[in-house]
Structure 1
C-alpha cells in the first residue's frame, strides 16, 4: 500500500532506537524525508545512515535533550531552516525509564518520569505546531502505553506520565481539528524494547527470546497478552507509519493498542 509519504517531512523524537527507530525506518521505507531527534550523536549517526539506505537520502539527525525547552526549540528551528518552515509529521516516541512502587519513589524520580514521559511531548508539539500548520497536511502520533489500562505497582510513575500523554493527545485532537491536524496515540504492550530486554536479563531470562520474555512478564507482572510472546519494535512501526500518513485521513483522537491482545478498552 502506498501511504502517500513520498517527500513528506517527518520528525521522530526518540527515533534512534527501539520503537521510535522502527517508526523512522517505516517512514523512510515509504520515501519520507526523516529527521530524528535524540540525545546521543553516536546513535544518531548509526540511524541516519540506516535511514539513508532505506530511502531517505537527506535524513537529518539532531542532538537535543528534550527535557530542555531551549534545546527543543533550537532543534525545530534548525529543521525549519533546512526544510523551508514546513513539517508534515511529528512522532513522539520518548518514554521514561522510572520503575518502583509508590512508596519507593522520591520527588526527583516523579519529576523525571513526568519530564521525560510527558512534558517532552508537550515541548515538541509546541515547537512543531507552527511548522505543521504551514504544511498542506499534518499528523501527530504520540506514544502512550497499554499499561495505563492494565496497571502494575512498579510502573506507577511511568503510567502516570503516559496517561498524561493520552489525555493531552485527546485534547489536541479536538483543538487542532479545525486545522485538520490529526492527532493519535499508539499504546504498545509488552514489546521487546532495550529496557524490557535488559530487565529480563537482570532476572536471568533470555530477553532476546520473545516467548521467554512473555513468560517472565507474566510471572513478574501478571500481565500476559493473548498471544504467547512479546511484541517486536518492527511490529509497532507500521502502525505508526499508517497513522502518520495521508492514507489516514479521518482517524483522530484514537488510542490504538499494539499489545498482542488484551482487551478492547
Structure 2
C-alpha cells in the first residue's frame, strides 16, 4: 500500500457519532458517509434529526439525551441490533455551558455542563469498548476543545470538562492499547458558525464591549488570524481513521490555527 493509499480511511467503517445531527457532528457524519462508512448518529433535537434524515436518507439517526444513562444504553441497543458492531466511536455531544464569573454560576449550570460534556463521554466509552474490542480497526475519538489546553476565564465549567476529556482520553489510550484500540482527542479552536456566534455575543455582554470588538479580539488570539471550519475538524477525524494513523493514539490534536490564549 502506497503512502497516498494509506491516507484513505479504512473501508466500510461502522461509525457512531453522539450529537451528530447538527453542527460539527453533522459535518463529521457527512465526511464519514462520503468515505463510505456506515454512520449512526444520535441527537437530542428532534428538529435537527428530522433535517438530518431528510438530508441523508437511509442514515441511522436516533433521538437521545446524552445526560440520561438509559437513553445512551438504548442508543447502543440500536447499534448492536441494526448495525451489528462498531469500529469508530466519535464522542462529540456537548454544550457551551454558562458564561459568567465562578461566583455567579449556579450548581445546576455546573452539573448540566459536567453531565453532558464529560459524564456522557464516559458512558459512551463504557458501552462502546466491548464492541470496539471485536473490531479490526477500533478507534475512539473524543471531541474536546482548545479550552482543554488553555485556561478560559468566564467559562470555567466548559474548560473544566474539556481538560477532563483529555485526561480521560489519555487514560483510555493506555488502558486499551493492548486491545489494539486507539484513542485520540481533537481540540477544535474557534469554529465558524452559529454556536461560536452565541459564545462571542455572551462574552461581549459579560465584559461590556461591542460584539464586533469581541469577534476581532477572538481573531487576534489566533496565529493564523482566521477561524477554523467544521470541515477542518472532519478532515482530521478521517485521517485518524486511516491506515496512516495506525500508530497514532493517546494524542490531543489541536485543529485551531494555533490559538495562543483565551
TM-score normalised according to structure 2 size: 0.87
Q: Corresponding residue for 1:109?
A: 109
Q: Residues 189 and 260 of structure 1 are in contact (CA less than 8 Å); yes or no, is this contact kept in structure 2?
A: yes
Q: Corresponding residue for 1:226?
A: 223
Aligned residue pair count:
248
Matches for 1:1-265 after TM superposition, within 5 Å: 3-52=8-57, 58-84=58-84, 86-98=85-97, 99-200=99-200, 205=211, 214-217=215-218, 224-262=221-259
| Aligned-pair CA distance for 1:93 | 1.1
Partner Cα separation in structure 2 for residue 229 and residue 249 of structure 1: 31
Partner Cα separation in structure 2 for residue 22 and residue 81 of structure 1: 25
Q: Spell out, residue by residue over 1:140-199, the C-alpha distance to the aligned partner (whole angstroms, 9 max, x if none).
A: 100111123221211111000111111011000000001100000000111124321134
Partner Cα separation in structure 1 for residue 33 and residue 108 of structure 2: 37
| Aligned-pair CA distance for 1:101 | 1.9
| Aligned-pair CA distance for 1:217 | 2.2
Partner Cα separation in structure 1 for residue 222 and residue 249 of structure 2: 26
| Aligned-pair CA distance for 1:6 | 2.8
**Alignment CA distance shift 1:236-1:117 (3 Å):** same
SS at match of 2:154: coil
| Aligned-pair CA distance for 1:95 | 1.8
RMSD of aligned residue pairs (Cα, Å): 2.0
Q: Spell out, residue by residue over 1:178-237, the C-alpha distance to the aligned partner (whole angstroms, 9 max, x if none).
A: 11000000001111243211344565647xxxxx8851425xxxx710112211111111
**Alignment CA distance shift 1:109-1:127 (3 Å):** same
Q: Residues 5 and 31 of structure 1 are in contact (CA less than 8 Å); yes or no, is this contact kept in structure 2?
A: no
Partner Cα separation in structure 2 for residue 39 and residue 167 of structure 1: 26
Partner Cα separation in structure 2 for residue 82 and residue 20 of structure 1: 21
Q: Residues 96 and 199 of structure 2 are in contact (CA less than 8 Å); yes or no, is this contact kept in structure 1?
A: no
Gaps of 5+ in 2: 205-209
